[in-house]
């Protein structure tokens, strides 16, 4: 552990380097993606996307997507 006082940027850079050294590039990327906080208000956005749809419309859409992948 370092005795010197580090800035937030220095801590971040050292942390990323430690992750890269221990996990490799792809492992570091996967690890960081697990902790992505994102942005916005998912609940409000979801309501905008889905509130006007009926359950039958949602079900039909799911069935259509499923058929496209087969």
Q: 41: helix, coil or strand? A: coil
Question: Could you count the other beta carbons within 10 Å of the beta carbon of residue 64?
Answer: 9
How much is the average pLDDT of 6-13?
Answer: 92
Q: What is the pLDDT of residue 2?
A: 59
Q: What percent of the chain has pLDDT over 70?
A: 94
Structure pTM? 0.45
Q: What is the pLDDT of residue 4?
A: 76
- If we measure between CA atoms, which residue out of 6, 39, 12, 7 comes closest to residue 28? 12
* C-alpha span between 18 and 12 (Å, rounded): 10
* C-alpha span between 69 and 3 (Å, rounded): 56
How much is the average pLDDT of 22-42?
Answer: 87
């Amino acid at each position: 552990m370092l005795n010197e006082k580090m800035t937030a940027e220095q801590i971040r850079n050292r942390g990323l380097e430690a992750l890269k050294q221990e996990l490799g590039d792809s492992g570091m990327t996967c690890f960081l993606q697990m902790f992505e906080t994102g942005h916005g208000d998912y609940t409000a956005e979801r309501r905008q996307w889905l509130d006007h749809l009926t359950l039958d419309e949602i079900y039909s859409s799911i069935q259509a997507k499923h058929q496209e992948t087969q």
